[in-house]
Structure 1
């Protein structure tokens, strides 16, 4: 009976994880796309991004997860903190923005895949702009395109966005979907961790009762 409780609990925990981690709502509907783009029109104009590119991405929604590749050149000079009025390094504001961004990303089923710093110039490049001295890169997993627009509209994200603008000299991002990877996905990793925990708990019970 104890074994059923242990393994049943592990199975329920994995089911709850998948309820959070997977998209169960299907692709975006046209009315959702139109409402989002209408709400964000001013922000597109303010940042110089293309509303047409965003619309094309959202209209091609297949309901699957995707990973956003972000390249960032951080502001390493002093800027005025919009909250305190004091002069701080722009990179500190970018880190403050990240502390706001990550909980919202996690709440909407996303998480960092990898974040790292640049350690050299372009090794292989042609027919592209000169290296603007990127500072960091990030791979951010989104549960779905719907969750991406939920994140963009989240009040906590919007309140932190000025920090991103002040802490960033240059950036570009584009969405990708995995083709080949040698890293186990969180679906596999969480399953293995729960199975290991259940197995160890089962062995501990057998040892005590045996």
Structure 2
């Protein structure tokens, strides 16, 4: 193996990581006032939202800081049979929620996001006060968004609107809100993918030295 071969291995590894960061990071900065007005205009007449929800959305995107964020979601899935919005057949409600997820996730990934944590609830409230009784939540999830612009690209995507009936039929109750980090040990792909690429490059480099 020559020195050129070693540089080639690490050069390819660096290129792969840079391509990942080119997709994963927000390089366009904060939303502009024109972009905000455009996105809000696309929500006019939408059947899958309310004026109150649009107002909260407006406040959120007007406060854009250009950074990525995690959306916290909690869901009470419908476990009983309901009418399929497409076929009319009676199907388990949770299967429609799963079908919605299969339609939602590719759009999320296409806009630089991804599921960060998905967990199934396995017990009742361990500690609570000043809140209503547990309605029977079934799933919690954290979804990573590359930016508020990318979130809006997903919101106005026709595929998202088309999938909304599945979400309604498969969900008895839900709420979500955006979050920013304060503390924790969550390791995002910027770190673990970089380490994985470096590990593969190092192993490849060592193997070529023995040839």
Q: TM-score range by the shorter chain?
A: over 0.9
Paired residue for 1:106?
A: 109
Paired residue for 1:68?
A: 71
Taking a change above 3 Å as real, the CA distance of residues 51 and 155 of structure 1, as seen in their structure-2 partners, is closer
Correspondences of 1:106-125 after superposition (within 5 Å): 106-125=109-128
Paired residue for 2:100?
A: 97
Are residues 1:196 and 2:199 paired?
Answer: yes
Please report how far the alpha carbon of residue 197 of structure 1 lies from its aligned counterpart in structure 2 after TM superposition. 0.6
Paired residue for 1:148?
A: 151
How far apart, in 2, do the equivalents of 1:121 and 1:63 lie? 37
- Aligned length in residues: 208
Higher mean alpha-carbon deviation, 45-54 vs 25-34, is at 45-54
Please report how far the alpha carbon of residue 49 of structure 1 lies from its aligned counterpart in structure 2 after TM superposition. 4.4
Which of the residues 119, 132, 136 maps onto 1:133? 136
How far apart, in 2, do the equivalents of 1:168 and 1:138 lie? 14
Paired residue for 2:175?
A: 172
Paired residue for 1:5?
A: 8
Taking a change above 3 Å as real, the CA distance of residues 98 and 31 of structure 1, as seen in their structure-2 partners, is same
Paired residue for 1:82?
A: 85
How far apart, in 2, do the equivalents of 1:47 and 1:79 lie? 24
SS at match of 1:69: strand
How far apart, in 2, do the equivalents of 1:171 and 1:41 lie? 23
SS at match of 1:11: helix
SS at match of 1:42: coil
CA contact (8 A) 2:10 2:201 kept: yes
For structure 1, the residue ranges without an aligned partner over 5 or more in a row are none
Are residues 1:158 and 2:161 paired?
Answer: yes
CA contact (8 A) 2:66 2:148 kept: yes
Deviations 1:129-187 (A, max 9, x none): 22111110100000000000101122222221110111111100000011212122210
SS at match of 1:38: helix
For structure 2, the residue ranges without an aligned partner over 5 or more in a row are none
Higher mean alpha-carbon deviation, 86-95 vs 118-127, is at 118-127
How far apart, in 1, do the equivalents of 2:53 and 2:156 lie? 17
Taking a change above 3 Å as real, the CA distance of residues 49 and 168 of structure 1, as seen in their structure-2 partners, is farther
Aligned Cα root-mean-square deviation (Å):
1.4
Higher mean alpha-carbon deviation, 49-58 vs 195-204, is at 49-58
